[in-house]
Amino acid sequence: MDEADRQLLRRCRVRLVRELQVASLWDVLLSRQLFTPAMIEDIQHAGSGSRSDQVRQLVIDLETRGSQALPLFISCLEDTDQDVLASFLRMSRQEEKQNPEAVRPLNLRPVVLGPMGLTPEDLREKTGPLKSTPRKLAPVVLGPEQLWPAKLRPEVLRPEVPRPVDNCSDVCAQEISKQNPDLAYALNADPCGHCLIINNVNFCLESRLTARTGSNIDCEKLQRRFRLLHFTVEVKCDLMAKQMVQALVELARRDHSGLDCCVVVVLSHGCQASHRQFPGAVYGTDGCLVSIEKIVNIFNGASCPSLGGKPKLFFIQACGGEQKDHGFEVACTSPEDRTSGSDPESDAVLFQEGPGSFDQLDAVSSLPTPSDIFVSYSTFPGFVSWRDTRRGSWYVETLDGVFEQWAHSEDLQTLLLRVANAVSQKGIYKQIPGCFNFLRKKLFFKM
């Protein structure tokens, strides 16, 4: 959250504590992914658990939820019929954006806190006007360096992604993207490209592959995310192997000359497979395989000339094999990861190489040196990829969250490092995403 939004929230805090009705907000905050279920629970139990204490904690935590936290919060207020507060915050924000010089700086004079660390305004909200009392309380004086909201409530600190120390990262990313075409791809077209999502959930009985419960959740998240990133999104569900190849060929044959990028997402069962360039293969609903190499090479310079020199991104949510990684012990593990209470499934299927099961000729054919290609795998080759039947896969859930919070300021490779780090800390069994990067420049999504 930028400094102007942060200051606005702090100046409006008293009114929010007085008027905000939080009981109707919880479901909307979760559906907009503004807070996690664990964070909502902590906010509900803040202080005495009263409405006013919940609002105070909500405002404090809101500052940690990214650059779009305030406009998302305003839309949540509108969704819960709190239009007066929503209009007040929206108009105040617009006024400050239009007149930044008129934004009042934070009052950095020492603040005297009374009992339980409450300011005089907080006490008035709780008890009415302050009354004199014969018992003298020694005030606690905090200087400017102690005024960071989380320090007033150390128990609410969570291992969230670190806050940038200033606004430099946003500015630097945008400047690199706009002014250094030799260092970053130009994604100026709107829409900036096509995004094809192949979502295989239900497989025929002969394939002996189980239904991928939870994959539709992944599909919905990615469909929404790439639309927000200015892609035209097309979803194809439950395709046989030949239909998958046909859909990919049709996409490659389109005229991309007026576009800047192309994205392919495959959600399916997968396995290890022979390869020279890109490992792994994914299953069609008929139980037949399509190698990742084949998918990627459909978009090479010879097959898709209008994408020459433009980034082609592939996101593969599928197992790379059957190995289950138990991980190794480290000093600290998040309690929620140790006891997630979920029932994850893997997208692994045993691969037996044999006649007709894999197109060997296509896998080993001589191709031009790949360039402008980025392939992101949900797991390390040879290992399973975990999918929660209620929340979707670990990889897609994390990818969506990271993109929401950081895609406005960081390049693709940095975003995927965040995803790998977050996924690696989940669950009893372990999983770590990885990528094959043949991009020539940094890629910043259009926001």
Residues 121 and 182 in one domain: no
Alpha carbons 321 and 207: distance in angstroms, whole number: 17
The whole-number pLDDT of residue 357 equals 34
pLDDT (tens digit per residue) in 392-411: 888 999 999 999 999 999 99
Residues 189 and 144 in one domain: no
User: Is 339 within a domain?
Assistant: yes
The whole-number pLDDT of residue 324 equals 45
Mean pLDDT, range 79-107, rounded to an integer: 75
Alpha carbons 333 and 425: distance in angstroms, whole number: 7
Please identify, among 156, 184, 211, the residue that sits at the C-terminal boundary of a domain: 156
Q: For residue 110, give its domain range.
A: 3-156
Which DSSP symbol is given to 381? T
Residues 206 and 344 in one domain: yes
Q: Are 222 and 400 in contact (CB under 8 A)?
A: yes
The whole-number pLDDT of residue 203 equals 94
Buried b (16+ CB within 10 A) or exposed e, 54-66: bbbbbbbbbbbbb
Residues 18 and 65 in one domain: yes
Alpha carbons 105 and 81: distance in angstroms, whole number: 31
Residues 80 and 220 in one domain: no
pLDDT (tens digit per residue) in 2-23: 788 888 888 888 888 888 998 8
Confidence label for 163 from pLDDT (cuts 50, 70 and 90): very low
Residues 233 and 137 in one domain: no
Confidence label for 170 from pLDDT (cuts 50, 70 and 90): low
The whole-number pLDDT of residue 273 equals 76
Residues 333 and 410 in one domain: yes
Residues 339 and 374 in one domain: yes
Q: How many CA atoms lie within 13 A of 41 on its CB side?
A: 5
Residues 253 and 376 in one domain: yes
The whole-number pLDDT of residue 97 equals 74
User: Is 147 within a domain?
Assistant: yes
The whole-number pLDDT of residue 358 equals 30
| CATH number of residue 278's parent domain | 3.40.50.1460
Helix axes 394-406, 215-228, angle to 10 degrees: 20
User: Is 161 within a domain?
Assistant: no
CA dihedral 383, 388, 394, 395 (to 10 degrees): 70
User: Is 162 within a domain?
Assistant: no
Residues 56 and 188 in one domain: no
pLDDT (tens digit per residue) in 270-313: 887 776 788 889 999 999 999 999 999 999 877 888 999 999 99
Confidence label for 347 from pLDDT (cuts 50, 70 and 90): low
Alpha carbons 417 and 447: distance in angstroms, whole number: 20
Mean pLDDT, range 234-257, rounded to an integer: 96
Please identify, among 87, 122, 156, the residue that sits at the C-terminal boundary of a domain: 156
Q: Which residues contact 169 (CB under 8 A, 6 or more apart)?
A: 409, 410
Give the H or E element holding residue 346.
Answer: strand 344-346
Helix axes 51-62, 37-44, angle to 10 degrees: 140
Residues 305 and 338 in one domain: yes
Please identify, among 156, 185, 208, the residue that sits at the C-terminal boundary of a domain: 156
Positive or negative, the CA dihedral 9, 14, 20, 26 is positive
Alpha carbons 76 and 71: distance in angstroms, whole number: 9
User: Is 165 within a domain?
Assistant: no
Does residue 348 carry a pLDDT above 60?
A: no
Which residues are catalytically annotated? Answer: 269, 319
CA 375 to chain centre: 18
Alpha carbons 98 and 152: distance in angstroms, whole number: 32
User: Is 31 within a domain?
Assistant: yes
Mean pLDDT, range 379-402, rounded to an integer: 83
Of 83-92, 176-185, 267-276, 416-425, least confident by mean pLDDT is: 176-185
Q: How many structural domains does the chain have?
A: 2
Mean pLDDT, range 329-334, rounded to an integer: 45
User: Is 366 within a domain?
Assistant: yes
CA 34 to chain centre: 11
Residues 72 and 200 in one domain: no
User: Is 40 within a domain?
Assistant: yes
- Mean residue pLDDT of the chain comes to 76
User: Going by DSSP bridges, is the β-strand pair 289-291/281-283 parallel, antiparallel, or unpaired?
Assistant: antiparallel
Number of other CB atoms surrounding residue 280 within 10 Å = 25
412 phi/psi in degrees, rounded to 5 = -55, -45
